[in-house]
Amino acid sequence: MIWTKSLETGVAKIDEQHKELFRQVDILVDRNQANRVESTLNFLSSYVAKHFSDEEVLQRINLYPKADFHKKLHVDFTKTFKDLYAQYKSAGNKLLVVLSINKAVIGWLKDHIMTHDKEFAEFYLKKHPPLNK
Ligand SMILES: [Fe+2]
């Protein structure tokens, strides 16, 4: 999955974290060896948690009206990710699960960024116009 400029929200910290998420999900497929997939999944799960929490803090301190709703989207995805992780652990065909994790994570991320993160970014950038523009 290639990162494209259309996924940029304009909030530098969020964009950097999104790029890293995409990079890690790609690594998952490249590293289809049990121990490496597992360490990448572990990294992804803590990186996703950190990224979500950073976004949620940014939304709360900026009094974003949709902060609770946005947080719920994060909570729901975290649950989906945990379920996928459990599937991976118990799966016979690990590659199949790795591919479905890749598809699910990238699909969700693209959708979430394009709709919800960009909506927040628009709100945020109105309050904090970039200095270099
Ligand atoms: Fe988000």
The pTM of this model reads 0.85
pLDDT of residue 60: 98
pLDDT in tens, 66-110: 999 999 999 999 999 999 999 999 988 888 888 888 889 999 999
Query: What is the distance in A from the centroid of ligand 1 to the CA of 97?
Result: 24
Please give the helix or strand (H or E) that residue 31 lies within, else none: none
pLDDT of residue 38: 84
The set of residues, in sequence order, having a beta carbon less than 8 Å from that of 31 and lying 6+ positions away, is: 37, 40
Query: What is the distance in A from the centroid of ligand 1 to the CA of 19?
Result: 13
Query: What is the distance in A from the centroid of ligand 1 to the CA of 70?
Result: 6
Backbone φ and ψ for 9, nearest 5 degrees, come out as: -95, -20
Domain boundaries 10-127, corresponding CATH code: 1.20.120.50
Backbone φ and ψ for 115, nearest 5 degrees, come out as: -95, -60
Domain locations along the chain:
10-127
The set of residues, in sequence order, having a beta carbon less than 8 Å from that of 105 and lying 6+ positions away, is: 21, 25, 44, 81
